[in-house]
């Protein structure tokens, strides 16, 4: 059965259609890369899945529940986590404290004072620190982290909330080659336990991590399949790779 199903999704801003009859299905425990030229509607699609924007029409099903048009915090609670393009860490807090804040947001805030003795927290912290590769940096202030480390901390903060589905918008933008390589390793581990949708422009990165690639163009589905098929697809080359060369 479907994990995330997007059915005939449409979104207009004023009268301008931005998402146009877009349908896809995301399979559990896979990593899907969402690609397409600037303005194709990738970020808007993320906004519609997470409830930041309401669709004009269409349906979004998560684990067979209709989540179309629900509030952002309700959808987050159902298990859909999101990492934005712009980092949102607390620079004056340590890495560990940032992860604590993220954890307490997802649990009862009244329980915060007990969090140090909360075995759930300690266990989750250990797991996430390993997943996001942050063990060497736990007691460092987030403000002095490198760009790549900041991105991994943000991924860790989303993971503290235990999402079943994780949406990431351009996670390797601005990273060094070495940082991208480490991110590839992080994602390859993550997709054993989580389902991921990653918006990404870096095709070398996409080739490394994607189980399936979904290509959007002008708010619609242009193609979907394994990277080898996508790279050989004449329409995709015309629309997407053609623009990258220009």
Ligand X SMILES: Nc1ncnc2c1ncn2[C@@H]1O[C@H](COP(=O)(O)OP(=O)(O)O)[C@@H](O)[C@H]1O
Q: Are strands 212-217 and 220-225 parallel, antiparallel or unpaired?
A: antiparallel
What's the distance, CA 100 to chain centroid?
20
Record the tokens describing residue 83, joined without a space.
């990492």
Cα–Cα distance between 106 and 245 in angstroms, integer?
Answer: 43
Q: In the bound complex, what is the minimum distance in angstroms from residue 42's beta carbon to Mg ion?
A: 5
Contacts with Mg ion, 41-80, as mask; x by CB under 5 A: -xx-------------------------------------
Name the one residue in this structure whose structure tokens are 């997709």. 191
**β-strands 80-83, 4-13: how paired?**
unpaired
Q: Are the C-beta atoms of residues 169 and 84 closer than 8 Å to each other? A: yes
Give the interface size with ligand X as a residue count (CB under 6 A). 10
Site string for ligand X, 11-50 (x = CB under 6 A): --x----x-----------------x-xxxxxxx------
Residue 114 binds which entry of Mg ion, ligand X, none, with Cβ cut-offs from 5 to 8 Å by kind?
none
- The token duo for 184 is 């590839």
Q: How far is the CB of 202 from ligand X (least distance, A)?
A: 15
Output 11 or 42, the one with its CB closest to Mg ion. 42
243 scored as a contact of ligand X (CB under 6 A) = no
Residues that bind ligand X (CB under 6 A): 13, 18, 36, 38-44
């Amino acid at each position: 059965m479907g994990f995330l199903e997007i059915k005939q999704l449409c979104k207009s801003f004023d009268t301008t259609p931005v998402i146009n009859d877009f349908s896809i299905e995301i399979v559990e425990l896979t990593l899907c890369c969402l690609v397409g030229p600037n303005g194709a509607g990738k970020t808007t699609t993320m906004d519609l899945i997470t409830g930041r924007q309401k669709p004009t029409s269409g349906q979004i099903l998560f684990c067979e529940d209709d989540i179309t048009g629900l509030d952002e915090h309700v959808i987050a609670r159902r298990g859909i986590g999101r990492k934005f393009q712009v980092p949102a860490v607390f620079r004056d807090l340590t890495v560990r404290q940032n992860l604590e804040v993220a954890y307490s947001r997802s649990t009862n805030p009244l329980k915060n004072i007990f969090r140090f003795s909360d075995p759930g927290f300690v266990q989750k912290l250990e797991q996430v620190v390993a997943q996001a590769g942050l063990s060497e940096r736990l007691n460092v202030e987030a403000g002095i982290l490198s760009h790549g480390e900041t991105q991994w901390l943000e991924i860790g903060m989303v993971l503290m909330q235990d999402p079943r589905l994780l949406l990431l918008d351009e996670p390797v933008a601005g990273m060094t080659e070495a940082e991208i390589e480490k991110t590839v390793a992080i994602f390859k581990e993550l997709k054993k336990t989580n389902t991921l949708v990653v918006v990404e422009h870096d095709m070398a990165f996409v080739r490394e991590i994607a189980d399936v690639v979904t290509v959007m163009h002008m708010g619609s589905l242009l193609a979907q399949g394994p990277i080898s098929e996508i790279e050989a697809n004449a329409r995709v080359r015309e629309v997407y790779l053609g623009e990258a060369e220009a």
